[in-house]
Amino acid sequence: MFSLFYGLWKYMFSKTEFHVLILGNDKAGKTTLLEKLKSLYSNLEGLPPDRIVPTVGLNIGRIEVSNTKLVFWDLGGQPGLRSIWEKYYEEAHAVIYVIDAACPSRFEDSKSALEKALRHEDLQGAPLLILANKQDLAEAVSAEELARYLDLKKLDERVYMFEAVSAYDGMGIKEGLEWLVDAMDRSKRTQMLRARAGDLAEAVSAEELARYLDLKKLDERVYMFEAVSAYDGMGIKEGLEWLVDAMERSKRTQMLRARAGVTGPASA
């Protein structure tokens, strides 16, 4: 049911939508990044850094880049909250992992949390953008230095990039996001998520399905088979228009109206 309404939404807005997780330790600058993304790519003014409080649970942000809609899930990074991360892995197209590049004492914890996330089967193949954040601070290490320190062996198995950014002043954010959108467009994981939503190349036609099902009981009622994709919306509008018309003409609708004491057409 969710997939059907999601497909209808896709039809109405006809833009590709990607879900992106923003992960990282607490105080790494994840929510500051989300607010900066809002201010860079939308008419919404993001919260100033001095008004941002630690995330307990989830922050959601939506922006548009070219013809692409991005939905960000910014999850709390405190050790006690990281157990909820995996609940969002399955539907994520990609991951942005934020590291405080000005705090080497927490690099090991960041590395450990990232490695654990990458080992999870529900994140298999997800493009990864690692942000060496807080480049506005003099003590921040470069993206190259951070990459050497982390030495993440698992990264050889997926598309990834390190980017030096400042979530405070916006430096490097657009470059990193442009790379991520392109990576998601090309990702096999994106293809897999589309397939899961019903956009399968090998799907049989509505006519073939009707012949296979051979539902004798359907001779007793008004019915129609329609070929649709709940992912991109193909065929949903046509099917829904037919259904609304069928309900208006249906004897069952008349019966239900009579039961409710309604004699005329249903009011809006």
For residue 180, the tally of other CB atoms under 10 A from its CB is 25
26 annotated ligand binder: yes
133 annotated ligand binder: yes
- CA 241 from centroid of its chain's CA atoms: 29
78 is catalytic: yes
68 annotated ligand binder: no
Contacts of 115 (CB under 8 A, 6+ apart): 152, 154
Separation CA 6–CA 197 (nearest Å):
9
30 annotated ligand binder: yes
Helix/strand/coil (H/E/C) assignment for every residue in 163-232 = EECCCCCCCCHHHHHHHHHHHHHHCHHHHHHHHHCCCCCCCCCHHHHHHHHCCHHHHHCCCCCCCCCCCC
Catalytic: which of 78, 124, 191, 254? 78
For residue 188, the tally of other CB atoms under 10 A from its CB is 10
135 annotated ligand binder: yes
- Which token pair is 160? 């990834």
170 annotated ligand binder: no
Per-residue burial over 16-38, b if 16 or more Cβ lie within 10 Å, else e, is bbbbbbbbbbbebbbbbbbbbbb
151 annotated ligand binder: no
Separation CA 190–CA 188 (nearest Å):
5
27 annotated ligand binder: yes
State the binding site for Mg(2+): 31, 55
State the binding site: 24-31, 55, 77, 133-136
State the binding site for GTP: 24-31, 77, 133-136
Residues tagged active-site: 78
